[in-house]
Amino acid sequence: MGVWGTGVFSDDNAADLRGDYRRLLAQGLSGPEATDRLLEEWAPVGDPDLEPVFWLDLAVTQWKSGRLEQRVKEAALRVIDNGSAIQPWVGSKFEPKRQAVLEAVRQQLNSPQPAPTRIRKAVLATCDWKRGDLIAYRLASATFVVFRMLSVHTDQGGSYPECEVFDWRGPEPPREGLPPSTPIRGAAKNGNTDRMMILPLGKAKVRDKLIREGRLLPLGVRHELAESYSNPRKARVLPTRVILDLDRQLYEFYGLA
């Protein structure tokens, strides 16, 4: 656990927890539902290091968003009253400062909280492509390249395609697919056959716009070489490169323009 100060959020766990709570609200959970989920995921009860951090951070975060629950308030006041929230600082020169922080938190939690803030609903990334699917993409130069799906990466932001790009270019998309012997293009800088997690293609609005413009075309063809990825023991272990700007980074890393 990284702690860099006496403040409520001067702690790696506290900062992560605050982000998790806001993320759950943005995904449409109610305040109590978000609290239940966090209790399940973090399992703080009985952990002498984590429990004080959990309740203090969650209580202050909920108060600031106008969603302080009585059970969370009571738990936060309890870790202040029983001394567990100050224990790591006892005997150090920072003890008085930590005590002042805790008293300020006590006053805050016992004061009227603001009106509930508006939480913008999160739009999660999506990816329905399957391993081996071929997707043609038209570069700014009007030249087409072809991606092969390797897997779908899923995290808190949703699901994103992880692909590799063939060493092939053409004026038209290869609607019948590519020969099995078509090589994969390695990164220009290090020669590695990098797999790419293409963040823009996880956004439905971006995909739809590119499809309407004729720049993105799922070919409806599954490439047989990708079947080797169905066996983890035979799958190649490749580095994953995060792609934010598709055209620029295809040129920068793969020499494709």
Q: What is the mean pLDDT for each group of 10 consecutive residues in the chain (257 residues)?
A: 68 83 90 95 89 94 96 96 90 90 95 90 86 94 94 86 92 91 76 77 92 94 62 51 90 88
What 3-state class would DSSP assign to 183? Answer: coil
| Cα–Cα distance, 184 to 165 (Å, whole number) | 6
pTM over 0.85: no
CA pair distance 153, 157, nearest whole angstrom: 10
User: Structure tokens of 149?
Assistant: 């799906």
Question: Which amino acid, 137?
Answer: Y
Q: Where are the beta strands (DSSP E) in the chain?
A: 133-138, 144-155, 158-165, 195-198, 216-222, 240-243
Taking the C-alpha atoms of residue 107 and residue 41, their distance in angstroms, rounded to an integer, is 29
Q: Which residues touch 233 (CB under 8 Å, ≥6 apart)?
A: none
Q: Tell me what pLDDT residue 174 has.
A: 94
Output the pLDDT for position 1.
45
- Position 184 scores a pLDDT of 87
Check residue 41 and give its pLDDT: 92
Taking the C-alpha atoms of residue 187 and residue 195, their distance in angstroms, rounded to an integer, is 10
Cβ atoms of residues 64 and 114 within 8 Å:
yes
Residue 158: predicted pLDDT: 85
